[in-house]
Structure 1
Amino acid sequence: MSIAAERVERLEALAAAAAAEGNDDRARSYVRLARRIAERNRLALPRSFTRFTCDACDAYLRPGANARVRLRDGHVVVTCDCGEQARYPYE
């Protein structure tokens, strides 16, 4: 595993911990930094990272706190507090 991939994983863990403590600004900065590192090194972000971050405002999503999760016909709809929606298929 490359150093950049390890750094992205570590930043994801730090963002989750900061969001759990209620420090949303710090979590947002960790998410932005992880995305920049992944772009610079041409890495695909892990699925857990993409599912729990908002593409519009870079917030780390916590269902029930700053995100709403709903099941629709064949897909999950995750709505951030900023209004951005992400849809993921399921069977």
Structure 2
Amino acid sequence: MSIAEERIDILFDLARSAASDGEFDRSRKYVRLARRIAERNRCGLPREFKRFTCSRCDVALRPGVNARVRLNNGHVVIRCDCGATQRYPYK
């Protein structure tokens, strides 16, 4: 694991804890920094990072705090408070 990937993991953990505490601006800053590190070092983002960050407002998604999670016709549907929706299939 490279230094960049370790840093992305650390920033995602910080973003999730900030979102849990209701500090969405701080969470947004951590997510944007992690995405910038991934772009600069040309390493991909982990699946968990992609699925639990909002692509529209860049905040870490915490079910029950700032996101709704529903199951619908073989898909997991996650809706952020900003209105953005993500869908992905499950088996």
Q: Quick check: TM above 0.5?
A: yes
> Which structure has more RCO (C-alpha within 8 Å, separation ≥ 6)?
2
Aligned-pair distance for 1:29? 0.2
- The answer to whether structure 1 residue 27 and structure 2 residue 13 are counterparts is no
Structure 2: runs of 5+ lacking an equivalent: none
Q: Any idea what SS the aligned residue of 2:62 has? A: coil
C-alpha distance in 1 between matches for 2:22 and 2:65 = 10
Aligned-pair distance for 1:43? 1.1
Are the counterparts in 1 of residues 20 and 65 from structure 2 also a CA contact under 8 Å? no
Q: Which residue of 2 aligns with 1:3?
A: 3
Q: Any idea what SS the aligned residue of 1:77 has? A: strand
Aligned-pair distance for 1:21? 1.6
Q: Which residue of 1 aligns with 2:60?
A: 60
Aligned-pair distance for 1:18? 1.0
TM-score normalised per structure 1: 0.95
Aligned-pair distance for 1:17? 1.4
- The answer to whether structure 1 residue 89 and structure 2 residue 89 are counterparts is yes
TM-score normalised per structure 2: 0.95
RMSD over aligned CA atoms reads 0.8
Aligned-pair distance for 1:88? 0.8
C-alpha distance in 1 between matches for 2:17 and 2:78 = 20
Aligned-pair distance for 1:61? 0.6
Aligned-pair distance for 1:64? 1.2
Q: Any idea what SS the aligned residue of 2:65 has? A: coil
Aligned-pair distance for 1:51? 1.2
Structure 1: runs of 5+ lacking an equivalent: none
